[in-house]
């Protein structure tokens, strides 16, 4: 009987697959990977690292030699609406000002997403990043 | 309809049970409402096919004939084996083939699962698997606080004795002076009361409300058996036990809920720094705790928490800036007063405090409970 019970539960677990992972602290904190579609200056793919220090959202896009600093960011918990502005440079050194507006989706999930739009002097398009 | 556990029936139970459980997160000791809807009453009558007597929750599988005459297997969830055993029940209370009637509530996801509020044996009319949680009877007059030879208060058992602390007078974290209606798992009766619970920042209030509206189903302790760090360890159903190692100037806190893990309170004067090749500078589920005695009160300062768990049963958010000041006062032999001051400037607008008491359960060791049981 005991063996059968164990088999029953293990079968259930196997079928269940990987369970959802829980929500933790501030919803924006962490590493994010995604795309800003059609960005001909900084490429289609992007990485972001975001943090919350208790007063402000801080972070960097594409951390490394060509990183893009986030100048300001706000999160409105009423609808979990994100707005941030960032300043990068093209290969010639010209300043590119980015404005991104999006919304957190699947808030309760560890791998939640932000979807929305981006725009700059050089273009605009869809924006989507997923928390890692 | 009466069947036995023939191979075919067992195979059917295996398949159906797997299918039933596959559509929802694996259970642990959790808010009942996370999985079941208390507005959906259900009555099931049929035959027991299997009793799965395993933590975190016992399941009784039963065959039930539906309105079309089709026999379907249902999974009926009960309290933990520890709760049931302490209430006088055993795996042999029901056997395959026994006829039973279950009254309870249905699973939120529509699967053939029910939470049992009563189980009645058809043949005898006897109700079984009822759970009664009552703290030990209070003595007629308070017993004196036990002390070491030098007069220091003992938080644990005296030599040759055993015991632990359980039956917290509050089972969810709420700021002192606030009264809000909630169930034992911290689920608010009215989510509109959320802002009263603690002085949250807007984002943490919105997150707390989101967790409440989802009936606490995202609780990492429920989904992933994450440790009940912070003050949550003092509100677990299976209590905490203190083991005082005075030679090494530390107190081990053994935790009866979660995964039966432990926390060390250091009294040797060290700072809140990680140890090389030990916890280093990694944030921890239980943080780093340094303690000192102030008279008969043990004062513990803890910092260095990670954000991978919920530090309260009700889902109040925290960040890695969380710092706790806990005060443990054994006011008499059978009563432990626990006070916690929460300082997390990234989640709350100010410091706040909560207080509750725990009862001494003498003559027993901690129940052996692992929420990871029933998992691969």
Residue A54, chain B, CB below 8 Å: the answer is: yes
Residue B128 has pLDDT above 70, yes or no: yes
In terms of domains, do B40 and B175 share one? Answer: no
Residue B320 has pLDDT above 90, yes or no: yes
Residue A22, chain B, CB below 8 Å: the answer is: yes
Residue B368, chain A, CB below 8 Å: the answer is: no
Mean pLDDT, range A35-42, rounded to an integer:
95
Mean pLDDT, range B180-189, rounded to an integer:
94
Beta-carbon separation of A19 and B20 below 8 A: no
Q: Identify the DSSP state of A4.
A: H
Nearest to A5 among B21, B50, B375 (CB): B50
Residue B283, chain A, CB below 8 Å: the answer is: no
B358 belongs to a structural domain? yes
Domain boundary at B109, B128, B147, which?
B128
Beta-carbon separation of B224 and A29 below 8 A: no
Nearest to B26 among A19, A25, A78 (CB): A19
B214 belongs to a structural domain? yes
| Nearest chain A alpha carbon to B58 | A5
Q: What is the dihedral of CA A63, A69, A72, A76, to 10 degrees?
A: -20
B333 belongs to a structural domain? yes
Which tokens is B206 given? 């919105």
B152 belongs to a structural domain? no
Residue B22, chain A, CB below 8 Å: the answer is: yes
Long-range contacts of A59-62 (CB under 8 A, 24+ apart): A59/A84, A61/A86, A61/A88
What sign does the CA torsion over A109, B320, B330, B259 have? positive
Domain boundary at B128, B146, B174, which?
B128
Residue A64, chain B, CB below 8 Å: the answer is: no
Beta-carbon separation of A5 and B21 below 8 A: no
Residue A65 has pLDDT above 90, yes or no: no
Higher pLDDT, B26 or A44: A44
pLDDT band at B107 (very low <50, low <70, confident <90, very high): very high
pLDDT band at B374 (very low <50, low <70, confident <90, very high): low
B154 belongs to a structural domain? no
The per-residue pLDDT for range B158-168, each reduced to its tens digit, is 999 999 999 99
CA of residue B128 relative to chain centroid, distance: 23
Residue B221 has pLDDT above 90, yes or no: no
Q: What is the ipTM of this complex?
A: 0.81
* B249 torsion bin: left (phi>0), alpha (psi -120 to 50), beta (else): left
Mean pLDDT, range B328-347, rounded to an integer:
98
In terms of domains, do B120 and B210 share one? Answer: no
Element (H, E) at A91: none
Three state DSSP letters for chain B? CCCCCCHHHHHHHHHHHHHHHHCCCCCCCCCHHHHEEEEEEEEEEEEEEEEECCCCCCEEEEEEECCCCCEEEEEEECCCHHHHHHCCCCCCCCCCCCEEEEEEEEECCCCCEEEEEEEEECCCCCEECCCCCCCCCCCCCCCCCCECCCCCECCCCCCCCCEEEECCCCCCCCCCCCCCCECCCCCECCHHHHHHHCCECHHHHHHHHHHHHCCCCCCHHHHCCCCCCHHHHHHCCCCEEEEEECCCCEEEEEECCCCCCEEEEECCCCCCCCCCCCCCCCCECCCEEEEEEECCEEEEEEECECCCCCCCCCCCCCCCCCEEEEEEEEEECCEEEEEEEEECCCCECCCEEEEEEEEEEECCCCCCCCCCCCCC
High-pLDDT (> 90) share of chain B, % = 74
Higher pLDDT, B115 or B14: B115
pLDDT band at B376 (very low <50, low <70, confident <90, very high): very low
In terms of domains, do B93 and B182 share one? Answer: no
The per-residue pLDDT for range A20-31, each reduced to its tens digit, is 444 479 999 999
Span of A11-20, A90-99, B147-156, B348-357 with lowest mean pLDDT = A11-20
Query: To the nearest whole angstrom, how far is the Cα of A63 from the nearest Cα of chain B?
Result: 22
Mean pLDDT, range B315-338, rounded to an integer:
97
Residue B373, chain A, CB below 8 Å: the answer is: no
Q: Check if the beta carbon of residue B354 is closer than 8 Å to that of residue B174.
A: yes
What sign does the CA torsion over B218, B221, B224, B229 have? positive
Domain boundaries, position B193: 163-362
Nearest to B175 by CA among B195, B203, B205: B195
In terms of domains, do B82 and B206 share one? Answer: no
Q: What is the pLDDT of residue B258?
A: 79
Q: What is the pLDDT of residue B272?
A: 82
- B56: cis peptide before it, omega within 30°? yes
Q: What is the pLDDT of residue A59?
A: 95
Name chain B contacts of A26, Cβ cutoff 8 Å. 203, 307, 317, 319, 346-347
In terms of domains, do B167 and B121 share one? Answer: no
The CATH number covering residue B73 comes to: 2.40.50.140
Beta-carbon separation of A9 and B374 below 8 A: yes
pLDDT band at B29 (very low <50, low <70, confident <90, very high): low
Q: How far apart are CA A112 and CA A115, in angstroms?
A: 10
Higher pLDDT, B14 or B236: B236
In terms of domains, do B48 and B184 share one? Answer: no
What is the count of structural domains for chain B?
Answer: 2
Q: How far apart are CA B263 and CA B259, in angstroms?
A: 12
In terms of domains, do B333 and B224 share one? Answer: yes
Residue A74, chain B, CB below 8 Å: the answer is: no
Residue B59 has pLDDT above 70, yes or no: yes
Q: Check if the beta carbon of residue B290 is closer than 8 Å to that of residue B301.
A: yes
Residue A10 has pLDDT above 80, yes or no: no
In terms of domains, do B96 and B184 share one? Answer: no
Query: To the nearest whole angstrom, how far is the Cα of B279 from the nearest Cα of chain A?
Result: 21
- Burial bucket for residue A105 (CB in 10 Å: 0-12, 13-18, 19+): middle
The pTM for the full model equals 0.84
In terms of domains, do B251 and B306 share one? Answer: yes
Q: Check if the beta carbon of residue B279 is closer than 8 Å to that of residue B288.
A: yes
B215 belongs to a structural domain? yes
- Burial bucket for residue A95 (CB in 10 Å: 0-12, 13-18, 19+): exposed
Beta-carbon separation of A52 and B218 below 8 A: no
B315 belongs to a structural domain? yes
Residue B211, chain A, CB below 8 Å: the answer is: yes
Residue B219, chain A, CB below 8 Å: the answer is: yes
Q: How far apart are CA A126 and CA A101, in angstroms?
A: 10
Domain boundary at B79, B104, B128, which?
B128
Mutation site for A-interface testing, chosen from B218, B230, B287, B310 by largest number of A Cβ within 10 Å? B218
State the CB neighbour count (10 A cutoff) for residue B365: 13
Q: Which domains does chain A have, with CATH numbers?
A: 22-131 (2.40.128)
High-pLDDT (> 70) share of chain B, % = 89
Q: What is the pLDDT of residue B26?
A: 29
Higher pLDDT, B12 or A106: A106
In terms of domains, do B106 and B198 share one? Answer: no
In terms of domains, do B167 and B237 share one? Answer: yes
Q: What is the pLDDT of residue A12?
A: 41
The per-residue pLDDT for range A42-62, each reduced to its tens digit, is 999 999 999 999 999 999 999
Name chain A contacts of B54, Cβ cutoff 8 Å. 5, 9
Mean pLDDT, range B179-184, rounded to an integer:
94
B374 belongs to a structural domain? no
pLDDT band at B242 (very low <50, low <70, confident <90, very high): very high
Name chain B contacts of A106, Cβ cutoff 8 Å. none
| Nearest chain A alpha carbon to B347 | A54
Q: What is the pLDDT of residue B278?
A: 63
Nearest to B206 among A1, A7, A77 (CB): A77
In terms of domains, do B354 and B281 share one? Answer: yes
Which tokens is B63 given? 């065959």
Name chain B contacts of A1, Cβ cutoff 8 Å. 5, 50, 96
Which tokens is A125 given? 């398009």
Question: What distances in angstroms separate CA B172 from CA A24, A73, B156, B169, B228, one per listed residue?
Answer: 18, 33, 24, 9, 12
Mean pLDDT, range A113-117, rounded to an integer:
98
pLDDT band at B280 (very low <50, low <70, confident <90, very high): low
**Collapsed DSSP state (helix, strand, coil) of residue A85:** strand
């Amino acid at each position: 009987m005991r063996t059968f019970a164990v088999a029953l539960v293990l079968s259930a677990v196997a079928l269940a697959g990987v369970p959802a992972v829980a929500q933790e602290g501030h919803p924006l904190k962490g590493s994010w990977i995604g795309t800003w579609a059609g960005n001909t200056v900084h490429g289609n793919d992007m990485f972001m690292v975001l943090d919350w220090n208790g007063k402000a959202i801080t972070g960097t896009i594409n951390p490394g030699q060509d990183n893009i600093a986030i100048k300001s960011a706000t999160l409105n918990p009423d609808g979990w609406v994100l707005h941030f502005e960032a300043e990068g440079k093209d290969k010639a050194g010209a300043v590119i000002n980015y404005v991104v507006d999006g919304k957190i989706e699947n808030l309760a999930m560890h791998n939640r997403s932000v979807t929305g739009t981006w725009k700059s002097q050089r273009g605009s398009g869809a924006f989507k990043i997923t928390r890692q | 309809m009466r069947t036995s556990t023939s191979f075919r029936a067992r195979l059917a139970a295996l398949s159906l049970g797997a299918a039933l459980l596959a559509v929802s997160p694996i259970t642990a000791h959790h808010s009942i409402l996370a999985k079941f809807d208390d507005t959906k009453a259900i009555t099931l009558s049929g035959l027991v096919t299997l009793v799965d007597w395993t933590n975190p929750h016992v399941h009784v599988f039963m065959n039930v004939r539906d309105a079309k005459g089709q026999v379907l297997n249902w999974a009926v969830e009960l309290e933990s084996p520890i709760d049931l055993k302490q209430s006088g029940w055993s795996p042999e209370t029901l056997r395959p083939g026994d006829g039973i009637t279950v009254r309870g509530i249905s699973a939120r996801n529509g699967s053939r699962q029910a939470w049992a509020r009563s189980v009645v044996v058809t043949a005898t009319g006897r109700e079984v698997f009822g759970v009664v949680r009552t703290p030990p009877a209070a003595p007629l007059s308070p017993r004196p606080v036990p002390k070491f030879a030098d007069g220091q208060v003992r938080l644990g058992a005296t030599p040759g004795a055993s015991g632990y602390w359980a039956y917290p007078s509050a089972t969810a974290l709420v700021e002192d002076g606030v009264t809000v209606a909630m169930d034992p798992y911290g689920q608010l009766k009215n989510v509109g009361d959320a802002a009263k619970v603690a002085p949250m920042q807007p984002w943490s209030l919105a997150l707390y409300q989101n967790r409440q509206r989802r009936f606490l189903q995202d609780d990492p302790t429920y989904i992933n058996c994450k440790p009940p760090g912070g003050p949550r360890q003092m509100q677990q159903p299976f209590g905490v036990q203190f083991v005082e190692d005075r030679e090494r100037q530390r107190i081990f806190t053994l935790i009866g809920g979660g995964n039966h893990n432990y926390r060390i309170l250091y009294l040797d004067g060290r700072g809140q720094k990680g140890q090389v090749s030990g916890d280093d500078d990694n944030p921890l589920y239980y943080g780093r705790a340094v303690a000192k005695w102030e008279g008969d009160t043990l004062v513990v300062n803890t910092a260095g928490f990670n954000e991978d768990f919920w530090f309260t049963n009700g889902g109040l958010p925290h960040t890695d800036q969380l710092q706790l000041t806990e005060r443990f006062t054994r006011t008499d032999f059978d009563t432990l007063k626990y006070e916690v001051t929460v300082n997390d400037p990234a989640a709350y607008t100010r410091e706040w405090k909560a207080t509750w008491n725990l009862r001494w359960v003498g003559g027993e060791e901690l129940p052996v409970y692992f929420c990871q049981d029933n998992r691969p």
